[in-house]
Amino acid sequence: MATINVYTESTPNPATMKFLVNKLLINGSLDYPDREKAQESDFARELFKFNFVNGVFFASNFVTITKVDEAEWSDIEALLKDFVKGAVESELAVKPIEHSEDVVFEGSEVEIKIQQVLHDYVRPAVEQDGGAIAYKSFDAGKVTVELRGSCSGCPSSTITLKAGIEGLLKRMVPEVEEVVAEAM
């Protein structure tokens, strides 16, 4: 068995830290914003047993963990790093993927263009910060997206949404006039 290495990266959300591993954890992403939703995932359920864990998000080779306000990263980071290493080494299940890895965009020509831009340009950048973005709808010039992982509740997510994502979509898809995030 190869040695599992875990390293951390801060995210734009001060309550969230990204724990990266040198192994694929999941194809796609899964968000567990609370203990109740985490019951389907052995890995997430075990993380929520720590009283300072407030959210768990998985994508490719990382898990993003959101802490409660009272906890300090300096007190819990090493503990979580050890836990993640042990969980990956013991192959604790994130969750089996039941759907195809092929990305299928649906809707009108404009909606397909929007989804393609979000997938190709926005998703990789958002994943680098420990989060994910999902297309929800397009109506009368307004694109609605859902931000998950470290992006959910992040202080800088509004700036990212308006200055980054909205600007990019307006340039690449002229029909777009506004981008808003749907509350989770």
Instruction: Give 21-44 pLDDT, tens digit per residue.
Output: 988 888 778 899 999 989 889 999
Q: Quick one: DSSP state of residue 52? A: T
Query: Is the pTM higher than 0.75?
Result: no
Residue 138 has pLDDT above 90, yes or no: yes
**pLDDT score for 155:** 67
Q: In this structure, are strands 16-21 and 6-10 parallel, antiparallel, or unpaired?
A: antiparallel
Q: How confident is the model at residue 135 (pLDDT cuts 50, 70, 90)?
A: very high
**pLDDT score for 8:** 96
Structure tokens at 113: 């263009």
What is the percentage of the chain residues whose pLDDT exceeds 90? 50
8, 81 in Cβ contact below 8 A?
yes
Instruction: Give 90-127 pLDDT, tens digit per residue.
Output: 888 887 545 445 678 889 999 999 998 888 778 877 77
- Bigger pLDDT: 63 or 183? 63
